[in-house]
Structure 1
């Protein structure tokens, strides 16, 4: 698994320019290329997930990653 922290700001018009949809499309293309080249899936999380420990743990668990006791 490859993890990517995503901030919501990159989806705003101010940072994406005039095409926030283009940011999403480019992100998906990169994700498919990573999977094709490495065979690994890409996990994504945001600040909200990181600060909400349960949310981040659920996201990681969906990829088979669990904390050690």
Structure 2
């Protein structure tokens, strides 16, 4: 699992996916979420604007990244 540091207290899910290099562009996030391919802390997440906090784990397929 990749630890990805953020500057602020929280980050939006769509931004984090790009920061963690799980997607190429922010526009890629929504279709993947609609298909139910993105998980946050083991649960499917469909809201691109969900706020993530340090310690949250985001998974896309076999890749995962933790907010740190």
TM over 0.5: no
* Structure holding more strand per residue: 2
Q: Over alpha carbons, which structure has the higher Rg? A: 1
Which of the pair has the greater relative contact order for Cα pairs under 8 Å at 6+ separation?
2
* Structure holding more helix per residue: 1
